[in-house]
A and B are shown apart, each in its own frame.
Chain A
Amino acid sequence: MKSKLLSFPYILCMIFLVIIPLLLIGYYSIIDFDGNLTLNNFSQVFEPMFLRIIWRSIRLAVISTAICFVIGYPIAYILASRDFVKKSFLLFLFIVPMWMNFLLRTYAWLTILENNGIVNTIFRALGFDGFQLLYTEGAVVLGMVYNYLPFMVLPIYTVLTKMDNSLLEASADLGANRRKTFTKVVFPLSIPGVASGVTMVFMPSVTTFVISNLLGGADFLLIGNLIEQQFFRANNWYFGAALAVVMIVIILVCNTFVTLFDKNDDNEREAKRKHEKA
């Protein structure tokens, strides 16, 4: 009975350091410089200039997520298949870069992409003109894919390795070829993994600040950079808070999307358990 009190310090922490700060964001987003209630901060969000930045954040995140899926699904599939003996070592190789500081991993690309960087040096040695690689949309997408690719691979890999092999055998016995087995059995069953991979890549991509700042340059704004700018340079905290609310909404929508898939999964598991009991 008494042990419930043990969580008291934690509950205090959460109230003061999570809930109240979030409410403060909400509060700041609906007041102006004089402290009067206003919705102007939100109507400012819908001005074309800012709407374009939000749209760009979403577009680049979608592109990066799509690329991660296209590259990552085959990786997960190959790793989960029994073709390689040292499977766990291979998986380990995919995880090691994630242990390196995120900032440094992004920084590493500066050396490669900058005007006097390796890629351009190679191009020049081959007789081509150097070209602008850094501070472009492409560089930002590359940074996102590089940093978040493992987030796509791991959940899909987990789902694929847990898959019941007898399902594949059954499919083959019933006359399906390998491609049909993949499209009709393997892929549909791996969708929960794909869904969590998609969210785990999309969410950090759409909210990123570091990647766009380092690889996109100081003038390349995504919603994360816009928020930072409002707090540190434009000094319009109220608009910054409104933008943070918009970001929270995007994340919540994204989260609902993934729980939808998870729920299906849970229901299936529930059904399976009931079936086994019967």
Chain B
Amino acid sequence: MKKLKSIYLALILFFLYAPIVVLVVFSFNASRSRGVWAGFTLDWYRALFRDTRIMRALYNTLLVGVLSALISTVIGTMAAIGINNMGRKSRRLIMNITNIPVFNPDVVIGVSLMLLYVTIFSIFRRGELGFITLLIAHISFSIPYIILSVLPKLRRLNKSLFEAAIDLGAKPAYAFFKVILPEISPGILTGMILAFTMSIDDFLVSFFTTGPESDTLSVVVFSMARRGVNPSINALSTLMLLVVLILLFIINLRDKKRLTE
């Protein structure tokens, strides 16, 4: 029975990993046609780094990811503190609205924001889709994730700590940075990482809200993949996978360290 279970799990893992392995292996394949192995090459990686469109898209992706994560972290953390101090009714109302972007399909988010932008452009008779519209879109779908990771930390916070700091003569702002912020910072960090990942991973919302000059990596990959297989994408995927694995490794190490402490 146990053997059967092992075989089953192995099959599923094969199913999950086979495409990824193929992707990685064929990024080193000298032949452009994917069926056959024609020797090892690094040509596709060279082509990748020489492709200005991909390099610019990489830059856009990282810039939007970092900026939207930072901005949404500030707005989201402030919002979480505010929501935490609200009455039951208004808190419930706001949390229901917060859940909308989480459940809303990406297509609907993309279309709705595009309609908003175009409406605004037509009212002011100026403006076009580009980096700013992309950034605003990413901020709008990231904030809820910040709130959802900070709010539980705030809930568990001991309220008398803040009061004690005030009683001991701290100004509210000082008390916030010295007492509350250190307590909720793990939640803020989780939210920020989540927001960054969501932004980097997003395709559809970017697809609808960005202009031709500010494509993100996924938009470029999509338009390339639409035309069929391209070994440069394989090379790109391999590099991205490597980054993800290193990130996961670091996070795991940190967790282990915390556990042993």
Give residues in A with beta carbon < 8 Å to B: 1-11, 13-14, 16-22, 24-25, 28, 71, 74-75, 78-79, 81, 83, 90, 93-94, 96-97, 99-105, 107-112, 114, 116-118, 120-121, 146, 149, 203-204, 207, 209-210, 213-214, 218, 224, 227-228, 231, 237, 240-241, 244, 247-248, 251, 255
Q: Which residues of B contact A100 (CB under 8 A)?
A: 20, 237, 240-241, 244
Q: Report the number of A-B residue pairs with Cβ-Cβ less than 8 Å.
A: 214
Q: B82 to A7, Cβ gap below 8 A? A: yes
Residues of B within 8 A of A8 (CB): 82
State whether A93 and B13 are in contact (beta carbons under 8 Å apart), knowing that A24-B115, A112-B19 are contacts in the complex: yes
Q: Does B121 reach chain A (CB closer than 8 Å)?
A: no
Q: Is B78 an interface residue (CB 8 A)?
A: yes
Q: Is the CB of A3 within 8 A of B81?
A: yes
Contact of B115 among A13, A21, A104 (CB under 8 A): A21
The CA-CA distance from A278 to B23 in the complex, in Å, is: 59
Which residues from chain A contact B13 at a C-beta distance below 8 Å?
A: 93-94
Cα A11 to Cα B22 with chains together (Å): 46
Contact status A121-B98, CB under 8 Å? no
Instruction: Please tell me if the beta carbons of A117 and B105 are within 8 angstroms of each other in the complex.
Output: no
Q: A13-B140, A21-B115, A83-B5 are in contact. Are A103 and B225 (CB under 8 A)?
A: yes
Main secondary structure of the interface of A (DSSP, over half): helix
7 A-B contact pairs sorted by A residue (CB < 8 Å): A22-B100, A25-B111, A101-B218, A107-B229, A121-B36, A203-B105, A231-B111
Q: Which of A18, A90, A224, A241 has the most B CB atoms < 10 Å from its CB? A: A18
Residue B34 is within 8 A (CB to CB) of chain A in the complex: yes
CA gap between A207 and B104 in the complex, in Å:
10
Is there a chain A Cβ closer than 8 Å to B85's Cβ? yes
A79→B23 CA distance, assembly (Å): 28
A103 CB contact (under 8 Å) in B23, B116, B203: B203
How far, in Å, is B70 (CB) from chain A's closest CB? 14
